[in-house]
Amino acid sequence: MSGGDMLDFEIRPNPTPVSAVERAALLAAPGFGRVFTDHMVTIRYAEGKGWYDARVEARGPIPMDPASAVLHYAQEIFEGLKAYRLADGSITMFRPEANAARFVDSARRMAMPELPPGLFVDSLRRLVDIDRDWIPEGDGASLYLRPFMIASEVFLGVRPSNEYLYVVIASPAGSYFSGGVKPVTVWVSPDYTRAAPGGTGAAKCGGNYAASLAAQAEAIEAGCDQVVFLDAVERRYVDELGGMNVFFVYDDGTLVTPPLTGTILPGITRDALLTLAAEAGHRVEERPVSFADWQADAASGRLREAFACGTAAVITPIGRVKYPDGEFAVADGGQGPVTTALQQRLVDIQRGRAADEHGWVTRL
């Protein structure tokens, strides 16, 4: 079957998989993004033919011509989500359909073909099924799934590619930050911006992350863990961190996060937290927050907590904020009761310890 919304996958098991003993040693302390499973998914696309040649095969290098379009014009998108091993041994994924929808949105913005959502989710199922022994156990542990698509046509003309390669790889993961979840210090970049109106800020494309690296290096040099970007027009309003959305928690229990105006990635964790916070009785607002207000509200005590959120780190409290002219602290070191409760609630749903009333968890 080819060119349709669903495809038949050819299964080519890895003839030399990692031994059980070596795999156990790797899973003991996988870190994040450094250890990979035995297999990957590949699907190809050609203009006029559609999606075809779906495979589960041994993970390995991707043959690539030096004139491949992705190397010159950066037509590339990706996603990130996790599979979990529950206490009863079953395997789940958290909101893969939401990732599939965002993958379609990103493809549309980058002038790439839209992978049918059903095929996206099926590709994840196939890889998790064959590499399920790579899913680590324990709190904070998961199998991180990285679907991505690149322009693979060999040409140097400036136009959308006519050929694409979709790939899914998987990486067993521990905590995103070494030492586990703890408040981080962030750097407010005075010079760099992440995205501008009309740009690609709402697409999950590699170029957005490449654009953040110089600012992230600046943050590290300033003794910070992450960079915070302000808006590209007025340089006043908080957009997001290098790879995470931002929330502010006030003394009346209100949660505020910057609105999705096209410059901010519509985070799937962000969306879940908006829902969970409202269910917990908090007032939730999507509105602009200026850096000046962040600083003033922290000084007055009106701002009680701040945190960043995303698939990889889930929730990360923000304890201190640095900028060229000084620094300030967030009350409670950033890790207050609201942040802690939301973190626990979300993790409990992801790991099957709480009722999934929203249908977010997909069992495999």
Residue 309, CB-side half-sphere exposure with 13 Å CA sphere:
23
Q: Which of 49, 182, 204, 322 is catalytic?
A: 204
Nearest-CA neighbor of 57 among 153, 149, 127, 110?
Answer: 127
Contact call for residues 244 and 226 (beta carbons, < 8 A):
yes
Residue whose pair of structure tokens reads 């590339």 in the numeric block:
76
Residue 2 is predicted with a pLDDT of 42
Nearest-CA neighbor of 354 among 364, 342, 338?
Answer: 342
Range with the lowest mean pLDDT among 7-11, 219-223, 241-245?
A: 241-245
> Tens digits of per-residue pLDDT, 282-322?
999 999 999 999 999 999 999 999 999 999 878 999 999 99
> Tens digits of per-residue pLDDT, 36-65?
999 999 999 999 999 999 999 999 999 999
pLDDT exceeds 70 at position 178: no
Q: From CA 331, how far away is CA 298, in angstroms rounded?
A: 7
Q: From CA 240, how far away is CA 257, in angstroms rounded?
A: 9
Contact call for residues 282 and 359 (beta carbons, < 8 A):
no
Q: Which residues of 296-313 are buried (b: 16+ CB within 10 A; e: fewer)?
A: ebbeeeebbbbbbbbbbb
Tokens of 344: 């626990």
Residue 335 is predicted with a pLDDT of 72
Provide the whole-model pTM: 0.95
Contact call for residues 182 and 313 (beta carbons, < 8 A):
no
Residue whose pair of structure tokens reads 């922290």 in the numeric block:
298
Q: From CA 30, how far away is CA 173, in angstroms rounded?
A: 5
Contact call for residues 59 and 330 (beta carbons, < 8 A):
no
pLDDT exceeds 50 at position 1: no
Contact call for residues 345 and 277 (beta carbons, < 8 A):
no
Q: Which residues of 168-185 are buried (b: 16+ CB within 10 A; e: fewer)?
A: bbbbbbbbbeeeebebbb
Contact call for residues 80 and 98 (beta carbons, < 8 A):
no
Averaged pLDDT, 191-201: 94
Strands 10-11 and 50-58: parallel
Query: Among this protein's residues, is 182 annotated catalytic?
Result: no
One-character DSSP codes across 325-358: TEEEE-GGGG--HHHHHHHHHHHHHHTTSS--TT
Q: From CA 125, how far away is CA 251, in angstroms rounded?
A: 43
Averaged pLDDT, 122-142: 94
> Tens digits of per-residue pLDDT, 149-177?
999 999 999 999 999 999 999 999 986 65
C-alpha 224: how far from chain center: 21
Q: From CA 186, how far away is CA 184, in angstroms rounded?
A: 6
Residue whose pair of structure tokens reads 């990732």 in the numeric block:
99
Tokens of 259: 């609105």
Residue 333, CB-side half-sphere exposure with 13 Å CA sphere:
6
